[in-house]
Chains A and B, each alone.
Chain A
Amino acid sequence: KNEVEQSPQNLTAQEGEFITINCSYSVGISALHWLQQHPGGGIVSLFMLSSGKKKHGRLIATINIQEKHSSLHITASHPRDSAVYICAVPTTGGGADGLTFGKGTHLIIQP
């Protein structure tokens, strides 16, 4: 079964800073997900990626399949980016039996 490690667990930064959140996993996968969870609990899917890089607004996600590692970057961070960011990968290679989630990175952006 896959195991997921996210770092850092907590991150506080000033508005405008460049943010990087890391995710490592143990078993080769077909795709990795990045999710955002705001206070109050609602989950939003940010990215699903299987190779290379994806960009959406100020968010950039990269993945290195060989190194089993993904990063989520936030450029020009803003207080509204404050949330928990979670990465998730298939529990087994095929993914039919669901996802394994990281514990999340709690991000606070101060004005």
Chain B
Amino acid sequence: SYVLTQPPSMSVAPGQTARIPCGGSDLGTKSVHWYQHKSGQAPLLVVFDDDARPSGIPERFSGSESGNTATLTINGVEAGDEADYFCQVWHSTSDHQTWVFGGGTKLTVL
């Protein structure tokens, strides 16, 4: 089965930059999406197709990819950015399809 690896937690002071990595085999051949999830709410898409930003998402959120690692970058972190962040890809084989999420990174704003 396909696995996406994220650090379980990260802490950043307000105004600083958070860079959340997501690693996976042959990740460069896949489109990576990023979701923000806060308790009691629906997951919110913040970056799709590696580096595209949905309408309404602040420019502080950006995505990039290099080799087998995708990165979600949050510039000028704010208290409201404290949440869990998950990367996600679609993985297809000859007889099966799965939508794979990383284990998630809990972002704490100090």
Q: Are A and B genuine complex partners? A: no
Q: Which A residues fall within an 8 A CB radius of B?
A: none
